[in-house]
């Protein structure tokens, strides 16, 4: 990223400097960002001290950070999002870009809690971002512009590749690339165990499997060839690979992967719906509390004066 690109992103606030928050932070600094361009938050005082010492950035409260920032990254657990939005909504600058890395939270849900017209972009990252080989997908909300997408891409490119997709694809993306590293680690585990079962030392089996996984991914990326073509080149008729593939097919491994990824997609949808219901419940409760706080506003016709006298008598108490 050029110096001008960094300047165009303005002051960046990272709200929630946990594992993924620190991943983005460290990736930006490796990409050449000045620590003075980044501020962060964390609710644990000891964590604030660790990050300030390790990276030379300022640690602020959530409200202080958003009041200063041109771009705000929300990197919290889904169940914490509503409380965070309630905390910061009055402090957000009107021209700020909000980038959410919170799984399952739709842009519309975030927009509903923020000032009208706030630009929001939803992101699904994955853990290889820790080694700058992440895959992030971004989706614009109703007020996000092409320039907001470009700014988000510049930021997230520090930790890997970035792809823009319609938001309706995000549940499928979660199932493929968001959860995908776990599937591949599962395969790696199984192959290492097989190596040990065949008599190889565990460290030897691990080196063989990890390098094979890495090399195969690089071959797939750099040749651009279809994985079926590459697989068939390894699979000689009547050979060792063909024998192994036959066993995998007999155990319906391909179908199991499809079923597993569909299950992940469905779970993503369930979590998103639960988050939407929780947000609606919180909004309904807030509205109910507001009606109780101001009973005169809902008094039946002909009794307004009585409600007003009751309010007046209790006014000092409530203040």
Express each pLDDT in 77-123 by its tens digit.
988 999 999 999 999 999 999 999 998 899 999 999 999 999 999 99
What is the predicted pLDDT for the residue at 313? 44
Do 208 and 195 touch, CB atoms closer than 8 A?
yes
Whether the model clears a pTM of 0.75, i.e. scores above it, the answer is yes
Poorest-confidence range of 123-127, 236-240, 296-300?
296-300
What is the predicted pLDDT for the residue at 293? 60
What are the structure tokens assigned to 203, written together? 């460290």
180 contact partners, CB below 8 Å, separation of at least 6: 126, 135
Do 162 and 136 touch, CB atoms closer than 8 A?
yes
Task: Report helix, strand or coil for 59.
Answer: strand
Confidence of residue 287 (pLDDT cuts 50, 70, 90): low
Give pLDDT tens digits for 147-204: 999 999 999 999 999 999 999 999 999 999 999 999 999 999 999 999 999 999 999 9
Burial state string for 222-254 with b = 16 or more CB within 10 A and e = fewer than 16? eeeeeeeeeeeeeeeeeeeeeeebeeeeeeeee
What is the predicted pLDDT for the residue at 206? 98
Confidence of residue 296 (pLDDT cuts 50, 70, 90): low
Half-sphere exposure of 317 (CA within 13 A, CB side): 6
What is the predicted pLDDT for the residue at 281? 73
What is the predicted pLDDT for the residue at 5? 61
* Distance from C-alpha of 57 to C-alpha of 267, rounded to nearest angstrom: 37
Taken in order of first residue, the domains within the chain and their CATH numbers are: 3-171 (3.40.50.720), 179-251 (1.10.3730.10)
- Residue 309 scores a pLDDT above 70: no
Q: Which residue has the higher pLDDT, 292 or 220?
A: 220
Give, in order, the Cα–Cα distances in Å from 175 to each of 47, 260, 277, 290.
31, 9, 22, 40
- Residue 307 scores a pLDDT above 50: no
Question: Which DSSP state fits 140?
Answer: E
Q: How many C-beta atoms surround the C-beta of residue 162 within 10 A? A: 20
What is the predicted pLDDT for the residue at 9? 79
* Distance from C-alpha of 71 to C-alpha of 93, rounded to nearest angstrom: 9
219: left (phi over 0), alpha (psi -120 to 50) or beta: alpha
């Amino acid at each position: 990223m050029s110096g001008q690109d960094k300047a165009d992103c303005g002051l960046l606030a990272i709200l929630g400097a946990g594992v993924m928050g620190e991943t983005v932070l460290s990736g930006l600094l490796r990409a050449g960002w000045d620590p003075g361009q980044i501020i962060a938050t964390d609710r644990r005082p000891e964590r604030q001290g660790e990050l300030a010492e390790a990276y030379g950035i300022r640690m602020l409260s959530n409200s202080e950070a958003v009041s200063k920032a041109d771009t705000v990254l929300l990197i919290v657990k889904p169940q914490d999002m509503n409380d965070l939005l309630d905390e910061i909504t009055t402090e957000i600058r009107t021209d700020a870009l909000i980038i959410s890395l919170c799984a399952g939270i739709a842009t519309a849900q975030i927009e509903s809690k923020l000032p009208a017209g706030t630009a929001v972009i939803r992101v699904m990252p994955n853990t290889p971002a820790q080694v700058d080989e992440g895959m992030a997908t971004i989706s614009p909300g109703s007020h996000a512009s092409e320039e907001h997408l470009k700014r988000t891409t510049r930021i997230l490119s520090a930790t890997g590749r970035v792809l823009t997709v319609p938001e309706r694809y995000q549940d499928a993306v979660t199932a493929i690339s968001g959860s995908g590293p776990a599937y591949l680690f599962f395969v790696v585990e199984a192959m290492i165990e097989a190596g040990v079962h065949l008599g190889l030392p565990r460290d030897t089996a691990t080196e063989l499997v990890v390098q094979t996984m890495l090399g195969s991914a690089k071959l797939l990326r750099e040749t651009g060839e279809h994985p079926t073509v590459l697989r068939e080149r390894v699979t000689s008729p009547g050979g060792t690979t063909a024998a192994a593939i036959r066993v995998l097919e007999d155990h319906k491994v391909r179908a199991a992967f499809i079923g597993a990824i569909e299950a992940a997609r469905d779970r993503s949808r369930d979590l998103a719906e639960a988050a939407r219901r929780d947000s609606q419940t919180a909004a309904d409760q807030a509205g109910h509390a507001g009606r109780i706080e101001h009973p005169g506003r809902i008094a039946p016709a002909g009794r307004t004066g009585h409600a007003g006298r009751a309010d007046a008598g209790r006014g000092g108490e409530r203040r």
